[in-house]
Every structure is written in structure tokens, then in C-alpha cells.
Amino acid sequence: MSVSLEQLFAGEKFTVCEIKIDGLSTLRKFTESLTKDQIAVMVSLVRHIAKNGLPHNPSRFTHEEDGIYALKDVPQQVRIYCFFERERVILLTNGVIKKKQKADPEDLKRAKDLRRIYRQEMGE
């Protein structure tokens, strides 16, 4: 298994990357299912975070559990999970359309599994 990163945005506050396993994005299948408007909102949020830092509004960015965070588009129920790597790097793991009030444990498990795979492959 080969794990790599693709830088999506670099800003004054953070660099935001996606994880790729064997050259395949862990987010692509999900993002291809989104509408153009949903993609635009999430791209805008990620760019904002890279440039200006984390939003203080918990409806846009929250800690879910065990170091896994969610970038959120509340009206559309879009969630992209992520974790911090090093001081100024955010790694995006997986995305979902939220179906319940709370985060689905399976979605969080997927994010944690991707973090574990990334760290194992990177020798951390």
C-alpha cells in the first residue's frame, strides 16, 4: 500500500491536503456525488481555513472525537472529516452527507482508519 498527500490549498495559516492511497483520492468518489453548489461551499470553507485559520463558528468546524474534526456545510448536511498533522497541516480523509443529528460512528471510524494508515505508512 502506498500513501501520499496531495496539497489542495496553502495559506498563511494552514496547508490543507487530501490523502491518497495507491494513487487514489480518499475524497474523490464523495466529491463527485456533490452538486456544484455544495462543492463551491466546501472549497470556499477550505480556502478560508488555509488563509485565515479555523472558523470560530461550530456550525462550520467542530471536533467530533479522538482528534477527528468535521468541516461542515450545515444547510446541505455535507461533512468532510479531517485531522491535524504537524502544527499547520490539515489532512482531509473522507466525506459524507449527514443523515442523523450526530456523526455516524462508521464515518468517524473511516476517518480514524485513514489516519492510522497514513501514520503507519509515514512511519509515525
pLDDT in tens, 2-58: 999 999 999 999 999 999 999 999 899 999 999 999 999 999 999 999 999 999 888
Q: For residues 11 and 17, what is the distance between their CA atoms, to the nearest angstrom?
A: 12
Containing structural domain, residue 18: 3-121
Q: How many domains, in total, are found in the chain?
A: 1
What whole-number distance in Å separates Cα of residue 121 and Cα of residue 58? 32
**Residue 64: strand pairing partners:** none
Residue 11 maps to which CATH number?
3.30.2310.20
pTM of the model: 0.93
Query: Which residues does residue 73 pair with via DSSP β-bridges, in sequence order?
Result: 78
